[in-house]
Amino acid sequence: MKVFTRSLAIAGAIRVFAGVQNATAQIVDPVEFTTSFAFTVGNTTMPAGSYTIRQDDDNAMVLQLQGPHSSVLFQAEQTQANETPSKTEVVLKRYGDGYVLKSIWLEGSNEGAETLTGEGERHAAKHHSLDGEQRIAARKKANSSKNR
């Protein structure tokens, strides 16, 4: 009887773990966008300017935001859209007069990437109420080479 119970437990565990998948941000091609205002990603405030977001080569849950004078790595997770986006865009949440990078959506895909809440966002939420969001048009850039 012990062998049978143990076999059932092992079979159940295998079924549970077989169904578990890591939710990773799927930003295969770099995404480019431009802002006219500063914003926070993770714990870093980035100045207004043009940026590229790309997936880290070593860890699919880490994205890199790169601008002309600065670069930052941040964590993200896969998220689902209620409706398939008709355009590629970056969404920033507005807290008072500050903005926080929150998600990246790709045209034609109901899967996007959502940033994990960092200290910058926690601080902004503590001191200001959520005042909406800013959606910024972006574009996918063909990732013809891995050289950066």
Identify whether 15 is part of a domain. no
| pTM, 2 dp | 0.74
Identify whether 125 is part of a domain. yes
Q: How confident is the model at residue 15 (pLDDT cuts 50, 70, 90)?
A: very low
Domain housing 74:
23-140
pLDDT, residue 124, reads 80
Identify whether 95 is part of a domain. yes
Identify whether 135 is part of a domain. yes
The position carrying tokens 């959520």 is 130
Identify whether 57 is part of a domain. yes
Tokens of 95: 């807290």
CA–CA dist 90, 104 (Å, integer): 5
CA–CA dist 54, 38 (Å, integer): 19
Identify whether 7 is part of a domain. no
Identify whether 148 is part of a domain. no
CA–CA dist 93, 123 (Å, integer): 13
Give ∠ CA 86-91-94 in degrees, rounded to 5: 145
Cα 87 to the center of its chain, rounded Å: 16
Identify whether 10 is part of a domain. no
pLDDT, residue 8, reads 42
Structural domain count, the chain: 1
**pLDDT digits 0-9 by tens, 92-141:** 999 988 999 999 999 999 899 999 988 778 888 888 888 899 999 999 88
**pLDDT digits 0-9 by tens, 47-86:** 999 999 999 989 988 999 999 888 999 999 999 988 889 9
